[in-house]
Amino acid sequence: MKVLAAMSGGVDSAVAAALAHEAGHDVTGVHMALSRDPSQTRVGSRGCCTVEDADDARVAAERIGIPYYVWDLSEDFHDLVVEDFLAEYAAGRTPNPCVRCNERIKFASLLERARLLGFDAVCTGHYARVAHDGPDGAPSLHRARNRAKDQSYVLAVMGPQALAASVFPLGGFEDKQQVRQAAYERRLGISTKPDSYDICFIADGDTRGFLRRHLGESPGEIVDADGRVLGEHRGTHGFTIGQRRGLGLQDPAPDGRPRYVVDIDPRRHRVVVGAAELLSTRTLEATDTVLFEPLAPGRPVACQIRAHGEAVPGIVEQAEDHGAVRVTLEQPMRGVAAGQTLVLYDGDRVLASATLTRRTA
């Protein structure tokens, strides 16, 4: 099989490319240059697709013995991921840029280019497993054996068609140290390289500062659930549902309990705060549903709304491919925010992905 290996410059993608090559596939490595600043460098463990990363990917490809290229996808990344991130925060929602990157860059832009060039599949260093256990051998997406590193949540948005053309060699590894050992044994040059974390295009980790620089300031009121003005803010984009710290309120709540952000209304420039119980919901509503298999009303599922969050049991009330999904939870879930990604599981098996639209009490 002719395989295009996405090589970020990290240990995971390098080992994945090496394993695909050793499995007998005809592998070509490609580094996606996603930053509009070609001189961008890493800041400790922060940053992605930097000059150092491109060099590390090149060295790893040479040692594997595969061709290597750099593709400039910076405009696609900016338009489809960064601008979406800003627009979602401006609209009072809480996006996951890693989900959007996987959907629109790694399994849309990259896969489209790969197919045009005659490749059969894309190989990445994501921690997830693919099983061909559906009708006529159709693939299904499963959690990785390494649950701490599992990335099935951010991959679920890719859908079954892209999954059929994807290879994830790291899904069977039990822990990260095994991956680093595999890199060391193959002399890939990056076995001790630290993992990247946080949002890759915000290298200093200051998300609020990034939003302020790009969205500016739009002052408004901080109010309680009854509409009583408690303070002021410099922009609703500086807040997320469930936030407790950094509210800037001088007076404590009358009952002395902590206050949390429970609603964001960018049209009225208002941030609503209240007690913790106002964050809880028993119903999840979402749209833009991507189904890996049909979901009948009444089916039990496990619902996850954060990349490494707990999956909460629920019952499907409605599920339409590319349409709406509604799930009733067996127990209340806190901190649900519009814009978050909802992924439904049956055990380790991914059933669907959707984007939360609102929280219902």
Residue pair 327/344 in contact (Cβ under 8 Å)? The answer is yes
How far is Cα 213 from Cα 196, in angstroms, rounded to an integer? Answer: 23
What element of type H or E holds 98? helix 97-101
**Cβ neighbours of residue 1 closer than 8 Å, sequence gap 6 or more:** 25, 26, 120, 121
Q: Which residue type, as a one-letter code, is found at position 179?
A: V
> What one-letter code names the amino acid at 243?
Q
Is residue 358 within 8 Å of residue 241, measured between CB atoms? no
Q: What angle do CA 290, 145, 122 make, to 5 degrees?
A: 55
Laid out side by side, the sheet with 229-233 consists of 229-233, 220-223, 270-274, 260-265
Structure tokens at 71: 């593709």
Q: How far is CA 25 from CA 100, 119, 164, in A?
A: 28, 11, 16
101 is catalytic: yes
For 87, 208, 257, 308, the CA distances from 260, given in Å and listed in that order, are 23, 17, 10, 22
Query: Looking at 48, 49, 200, 303, which residue is catalytic?
Result: 200
Q: Determine the straight-line distance between the first and last CA of the chain, rounded to whole angstroms.
A: 50
Q: Answer yes or no: are the C-beta atoms of 290 and 344 closer than 8 Å.
A: no
**What is d(CA 359, CA 48) in angstroms, rounded to the nearest whole number?**
33
What's the angle, vertex CA 41, arms to CA 204 and CA 35, rounded to 5? 85
What distance in Å separates the CA atoms of residue 232 and residue 230, rounded to the nearest whole number? 7
Q: Which of 49, 98, 101, 123 is catalytic?
A: 101
List the catalytic residues. Answer: 101, 200
